[in-house]
Amino acid sequence: MWRKVKYALLAGIVVALLAFHAPGDNYFEIARNLDIFATLFKEVNAYYVDEVDPGKLIRKGIEGMLESLDPYTDYIAEDELEGFRITTTGQYAGIGALIGNVNNKTVITHPYKNFPAYKAGLRVGDEILAVDGQSVAGKTTSEISNMLRGPLKSEVEIRVKRYGQSENLTFKIKRERIVISNLAYAGIIAPGIGYIRLDDFTPGAGKEVAQAVADLKQQGAQRLIIDLRDNPGGMLYEAVNIVNLFIPKGKEVVSTKGKMADWNRTYTTLNHPLDTQIPLAVLINENSASAAEIVAGALQDYDRAVLIGQKTFGKGLVQTTRPLSYNAQLKVTTARYYIPSGRCIQELDYAHRNADGTVNKFADSLRREFRTSRGRIVFDGGGLKPDIETENAQDIPVLAALVNSGMLFEYASKFTNENPGLRTSAPFELSDNEYARFVSWIKERKFSYTTTIEQQIKEFREAAKSEQYFAEIERELNALSSRVEANKANDFIRFKREVKNLLEQQIAFHYNLFDGQVPVSLRSDKEVEKAKDILSDLKKYQALLSPQ
């Protein structure tokens, strides 16, 4: 029986491979290795000393195989499809709220504006206790999210605990079709300067940006900042639609080239542009990837925008979803993309891994020179280099520790519930007295963190003990540790401006979501300030877009 099943399986796979491979490919090698895999699985399943779970065993094998390719090629099982669709389309049926785990409590972290949770009165920081009468204690955020989603127009009951209130609150909410906006914020941030923060490239992104640009121009915007920092990308055609807003119809935006001719395509602008003259600044950083790089790269190649920030991630690979048996899916890298100058900005060379499995960046010596429309020199193989490069934000351990600990979020929940009257349209600002109360609260909670140098001292101490040098240097190490600890005690004074700004952003988000948070974050945003400076001086702006 096993033999018949095995060879039927192999025959089906080989036939499928024949449909996609040209004559001359290694049919025998494919069949031989599939045969080995099938018989190996049979033997392990039959003879391994303990019982094995066939599904888990095969899943591990699939993951190991795909891991040797690139991090974007992925197997999606049937029970993971819903989450995958939500990620790629931004649409689902539910209450319209993000949830997360903060200090072992499942809380509302973002009730999307004008969706059921928001309209019902759920707030950032509300702790979820039960869904439809079933306690959520011990459940993961993924399990609770599944409980909150359900059929369109169905009702769900949610019981929450709100900071400072003795009685729990119960909300009955009718589920709706949720379409998450790609735009976090759009507004006028200086006389004549509009600002758009784009967080995703799910369906509709192009229309959302077009509407935002039109609205900002109506409000008096004569120059525009598009913020693509920390944008991981998404739908390629939405990137094309956004570029189309600023360059003429019929222009190439991106081309893709793969092993199969079917994946060799050129994407051009199909519509008349919205504005080909408005001065543009695009903000990028090391987390701007994929579709975000297509937008920024195409606008740079056409000398249509000044890029400001840090070098981008360097993802020049295109993924396509293919159907598998039993409603599973394979997200597989099928091509590389090339922006109008002809360059591919893929940074890591997954095709040539080291013996230990690590991946190298493309060597600088292999990077090739290309030209923009006006003749500026640009390079491939390593992300997009901005026209104006700014330094990365300083890595301050106390800031990362505060965010990761959930302390900022928890204090913001406390503050906003104790001060409901401060909800305002003006950018929120924390007084020095309130900051001092926050520091006292943090210390009462025995907040602690380990700096990089403390970790290094610990490792050095252990190495010294193992190599029997510790006795000679113990005094110096103890003195160094004491000095670091003393410096840490002053971190809330030394980094007051940075900590205060992060706390202000979190409180503003609790009050008014992104409409509250973004104006606060812009007060200390060096890239935005640089963009405003460049856009306010058109001679400087044009000089940056001309060959040197």
**Cβ partners under 8 Å of residue 473, min gap 6:** 464
Contact 188, 279 (CB under 8 A): no
List 315, 488, 500, 532, catalytic entry = 315
Strand 193-198, strand 183-190: pairing: antiparallel
Q: Indicate the pairing of strand 223-227 with strand 280-284.
A: parallel
SS3 labels along 458-514: HHHHHHHHHCCCHHHHHHHHHHHHHHHHHHHCCHHHHCHHHHHHHHHHHHHHHHHHH
Interacting residues of 528 by C-beta distance below 8 A, sequence separation 6+: 189, 195, 225, 227, 283, 522
Q: Name the DSSP class of 166.
A: S
Determine whether 448 is an active site residue. Answer: no
Contacts of 453 (CB under 8 A, 6+ apart): 484
405 is catalytic: no
Residues in the chain: 548
Q: Out of 199, 200, 301, 380, which one is annotated catalytic?
A: 301
SS3 content of the chain, % helix, strand, coil (to 5): 45, 20, 35
- Which among 290, 341, 413, 521 is annotated as catalytic? 290
144 forms beta bridges with: none
**Cβ-proximal residues to 273 (8 Å cutoff; 6+ apart), any chain:** 244, 245, 246, 247, 248, 249
Q: How many CB atoms lie within 10 A of CB 110?
A: 17
Phi, psi (rounded to 5 degrees) for 59: -60, -40
Active site annotation includes 413: no
Known catalytic residues? Answer: 290, 301, 315
